[in-house]
Structure 1
């Protein structure tokens, strides 16, 4: 028995780590499909794995840069810099340019439907993120560029110190310890990957999958094109060895890096490959050549991690995914921050993601998005980085010893293949993009009345063109006793006030206020009749008691306070100005708007807001527009902006791309929303106010705000499809 068991143990141990990681990812996907949202309990385990990967990032980055630069003499450093700067600059430019080109496949980030002063990205303190005035503070804030600059400056300064061997032993020991620590942590990769994939597969919305596939495909295509086409062809045009010989020399390093998913293990193989190519090129076999190759190799592990720079692609995709448009300054600085944040080991990219994500104001779940895809993209990242090591460690010594010669024929072939390769990749991506990224419609059109509200409730919806004046007899007694005795609650609505009252994509009358109408009828134990009204007739409808209460995004005004009975305010919203998105930033301050010469504004929904806007903008020309005329007036430039409460302007802008609802700062208080009851219905108004207070305290109001205003899914919605629920349901039948 014992003898027979040993081969089984050996066969299990013989399975390479990457294959275990694949097993973990596959098992996680299966668990997510089977158990659905139950797998969210595994998310802390995946997060713990990500945090463990960060433990050794800064110790390694600091020691590697100081060690690689400090061990050179000033003369060697100057000569090596002269030989190497062009190589590194070429690699960086080619990699970042390739990423920029591939990112053309990602759709442009849509303009925000709502813009506030708080949401505008302030220009970051460039000097603070780049100059490490306080190293501890820079590490604590994840300012990776500042940490890298600190290490580079100290590495150069240490070149002038004579007695430094003891320091180098310590620095080298920390590097080795960091790699060892990562080796230990990577052993848990199958478990961490399982947890991340299970949580992702069990909770991710199907609509996000296609976008992630696009990002992963672009990542792998870009890294593999650079690793196996661009860089080897460029090397072949400068060294005696041809393309096939170069790939053959790099093959052992690539194999060991892919098997372990650690680029550091490829360094000895890269060194031997560089020495053989240097021999073929006629470089002298001397201690100087050996020192130069070792120094370049050490620096390359920090400066030539080309796969790390693909976090630039991640950020461009994340800006689209999370609908966070990048300013011109952010677009200009993003490649620089990606370059500085990508220095160090492949694992250092985790801190780079956190740093740049915070700088771009992207949500915290960006790290999870990165880790969910990193299991796949890591292979392309490591492969490209290993080829980057080989590129620098081969070419810099040859330039150092003046053994580089351009081969025009090979250079032309390299340029042609590069253009063709990326051209095909981009064209194919653009062709597939419509299939992967379906256009998203107006999200309000998918919202519905909570089935729990509608269950068992008798509801009659009178549809336009009927109105309260044409479909309902007057003198509906608005007292509580009369409503209960008749068994009917008549609620007036206007269906042009999203998200308070409107028709959804299925032709159903829905909205924040409609949900309140359902709840009010349920609590009164009566049938609900929803009666349409038009704004000019609303006051008369209430005075003639054709409806018991009007509930459709109605504002509190002085005129209504004088003539009608109003409930307490149940919602408030700041004023917003709907403008073309290209002009949105000009409307962020009330004073600046009021000072605009020839300002033309409009209001909608009748003259209710007219007097308020005239007071806020005394120098403006203000007109009243019908709802159906707003789009044409803005598109044709007839008005500069349309003033409307934010909670109504935002959904309108969401449904009309190219326009933004801007909330100017320093403007007067918010608009108050109320329900209207007939004049003299004091008992019913008192009941309505008490009822609204109850709905605020029992969580109903918050649930409706979360769903209709904030766009959050209902907490009691059915769980996402999963196989376990299907099997349980089948057995239950």
Structure 2
């Protein structure tokens, strides 16, 4: 009851104090570290002692029956997860550019994860699988050792001491859970969960159904126990796992809960009870139902991209998921997305969802391990209630509860989906914050012409702009996210916003004139516009034809490919094994030379607009930049951006002006310097390239500040 009180008071404190509750996080983290202090040593000792005290025949029985139960639990969990996916409504999604796309991919080293070269280092670094493997081998080989009584007695004393430490620290749980809950509720940024409402709702309801009803109901029915009795013994471990998001620290409490469930049988010295200390750590290191619930994100991603899985794909996902989830979920998820040919960009959404799903996963882990161990002990002690009719009735009740939940969720989520916004929606609603008066010409730009000369005297460009009161800016509306038309038909983008800022500094209006990249030199020379501002690359050839400002941004060359083929484009060697490829490049862009240098056997396919690549299947891939490719991926989520290893190269953007405009060029460079100093370029980059919409700097809503209108800075420094 004290733990439940701590949880309730923590929620209330988080809502009451808001951001000010962040100061309690240090108390919660200290509590978690105290619990972690003894868990790994306890796990190692429990495994060695549990295996070492078994007779060879008992070990064989445990492997046979325990293995069968684990397989049955996996099947039950996968069936529930796949059934829950029937509640998903449809939605599309993709992601803005992220600097993480530039980081080289790292493969998980299974040797480091599972095989410890130094067991003490593995203990210090918290590498649980490695510790479990060492302790399991030690304990199994200890079975055949004859003179081991004194060693076993010493281990038993150590285990009892570690249990005492864990129980002593557990008595501080009400305080620790209060602090953890208050800090999490008080600082949770609800806007970060936008676009994930459907997944989070389905995950939370599904996890609650399985963890709070199906598993404890199943244990109670099969062991002849009341539901309240089952929940009563495991409640403390369940709440601790949920509030901390860490099931590892609950293992001693789970063992205690299992023994309390069977306390009336006076079987403390039975083989079954000795094996509890073995089965719990082993079960923790296998994919639990809580871990398997992460596969719900794969199903959500498939539905979100209108790529629902068929029956064979469900079977493939089940097998691939079980093998991959022996490692960390964060490591397994990108591989599973690739395996199911789903957009890898959605992994960023998965990381955001960890804010809440980690808590439910930990709670479900606790209940899964408890239920598995309890049924195992019940099987060995012959406590399973006989009768096929009872088992059939139990299965029917569980199926009815699952079906009813799915039906209600489908209705509710169908209403919720109307409020879900995709990143495409975000891109299409971005706008210029403080626009100046501007006119936008949409007349088709002329083709490239011979470079002539304008009649304007040298050094008079800036004077003419100030005299006319208008800055003429060349733009290309397909240069997402630098220049494009938003959902309201307004010309927006990074460079368009910078054009407004430049015009504002000059005190003039704007006139936007469309251009083609291969026509920029002749357009500037003929005076069609004063400056081109739409992601124009600097090249040696262009430097011979035009003057450029100092570079204002460095982009990273990348390939845009169908998402299901992304694994074949990760390295240049892998690309080379695909054979001759047709690579699309925008006509007049600076990327043809880079393509020939990086992939000399590829055939460049020049296209007049990027839409022809996405809609016309004119090439196998498109060479562009990661920043621009990510923006186009929002409009066409079936495609993804790949920065292969080694990298193709960099693209330096600058603003070109006509030769003979030194006054305008000097002003332009000084203006860029001032914009950097004021961090205006950084803010624009975050907004247009990274998709970070402007957020209010006001503190999080709280009762103290927003209802009582009192100062909320009581428990910590609130922003």
Give the shorter-chain TM-score range: 0.7 to 0.9
Alignment pair present for 1:575 and 2:557: yes
Which has the higher mean CA deviation after the structures are superposed, 504-513 or 64-73? 64-73
Alpha-carbon deviations, 1:614-644, whole Å to 9, x = none? 555444433322326424xx55543212222
Q: 2:274 aligns with which of 295, 300, 308?
A: 295
Whole-Å separation in 2 of the counterparts to 1:69 and 1:271: 21
Question: Cα–Cα, structure 1 residues 178 and 391, in superposed 2: closer, same or farther, change >3 Å?
Answer: same
Alignment pair present for 1:644 and 2:635: no
Task: Answer yes or no: is the 8 Å Cα contact 1:312–1:335 preserved in 2.
Answer: no
Whole-Å separation in 1 of the counterparts to 2:358 and 2:611: 49
Q: 1:135 aligns with which of 108, 119, 125?
A: 119
Which has the higher mean CA deviation after the structures are superposed, 50-59 or 604-613? 604-613
Alignment of 1:214-363 (within 5 A): 214-233=202-221, 235=222, 246-248=224-226, 251-258=228-235, 261=239, 263-272=254-263, 290-303=269-282, 309-313=288-292, 315-316=294-295, 335=322
Task: Answer yes or no: is the 8 Å Cα contact 2:290–2:365 preserved in 1.
Answer: no
Task: Answer yes or no: is the 8 Å Cα contact 1:124–1:359 preserved in 2.
Answer: no
Q: 1:448 aligns with which of 425, 431, 434?
A: 431
Q: Report SS of the residue matched to 1:692.
A: helix
Alignment of 1:549-588 (within 5 A): 549-588=531-570
Alignment pair present for 1:177 and 2:165: yes
Task: Answer yes or no: is the 8 Å Cα contact 1:96–1:335 preserved in 2.
Answer: no
Q: 2:506 aligns with which of 524, 527, 541?
A: 524
Question: Cα–Cα, structure 1 residues 535 and 83, in superposed 2: closer, same or farther, change >3 Å?
Answer: closer
Q: TM-score, normalised by structure 2?
A: 0.78
Q: Report SS of the residue matched to 2:262.
A: helix
Residue in structure 2 matched with residue 22 of structure 1 by the alignment? 8
Alpha-carbon deviations, 1:217-259, whole Å to 9, x = none? 11111223432444455x37xxxxxxxxx133x6434224326
How many equivalent residue pairs? 662
Residue in structure 1 matched with residue 713 of structure 2 by the alignment? none
Q: TM-score, normalised by structure 1?
A: 0.76
Whole-Å separation in 2 of the counterparts to 1:599 and 1:367: 34
Question: Cα–Cα, structure 1 residues 512 and 152, in superposed 2: closer, same or farther, change >3 Å?
Answer: same
Question: Cα–Cα, structure 1 residues 86 and 18, in superposed 2: closer, same or farther, change >3 Å?
Answer: same
Residue in structure 2 matched with residue 462 of structure 1 by the alignment? 440
* Structure ID, larger Rg: 1
Q: Report SS of the residue matched to 2:565.
A: helix
Whole-Å separation in 2 of the counterparts to 1:109 and 1:45: 41
Whole-Å separation in 2 of the counterparts to 1:136 and 1:83: 32
Task: Give the superposition deviation at 1:395.
Answer: 0.8
Whole-Å separation in 2 of the counterparts to 1:357 and 1:185: 32
Which has the higher mean CA deviation after the structures are superposed, 607-616 or 672-681? 607-616
Task: Give the superposition deviation at 1:199.
Answer: 0.9
The two structures, once aligned, show a CA RMSD in angstroms of 4.5
Question: Cα–Cα, structure 1 residues 463 and 717, in superposed 2: closer, same or farther, change >3 Å?
Answer: farther
Q: Report SS of the residue matched to 2:618.
A: coil
Q: Report SS of the residue matched to 2:652.
A: strand
Whole-Å separation in 1 of the counterparts to 2:316 and 2:149: 43
Residue in structure 1 matched with residue 149 of structure 2 by the alignment? 162
Q: Identify unmatched segments of 5+ residues in structure 2.
A: 240-252, 306-312, 337-343, 448-453, 711-719
Alignment of 1:357-396 (within 5 A): 372=356, 382-396=366-380
Alpha-carbon deviations, 1:548-592, whole Å to 9, x = none? 211111122344322222223222323222221122222233455
Q: Identify unmatched segments of 5+ residues in structure 1.
A: 1-14, 237-245, 276-286, 342-351
Question: Cα–Cα, structure 1 residues 729 and 180, in superposed 2: closer, same or farther, change >3 Å?
Answer: closer
Whole-Å separation in 2 of the counterparts to 1:698 and 1:408: 75
Q: Report SS of the residue matched to 1:627.
A: coil
Question: Cα–Cα, structure 1 residues 532 and 446, in superposed 2: closer, same or farther, change >3 Å?
Answer: same
Alignment of 1:454-493 (within 5 A): 454=435, 458-465=436-443, 478-493=460-475
Task: Give the superposition deviation at 1:265.
Answer: 4.7
Q: 1:602 aligns with which of 572, 575, 584?
A: 584
Question: Cα–Cα, structure 1 residues 231 and 405, in superposed 2: closer, same or farther, change >3 Å?
Answer: closer
Task: Give the superposition deviation at 1:150.
Answer: 2.1
Alignment pair present for 1:662 and 2:642: yes
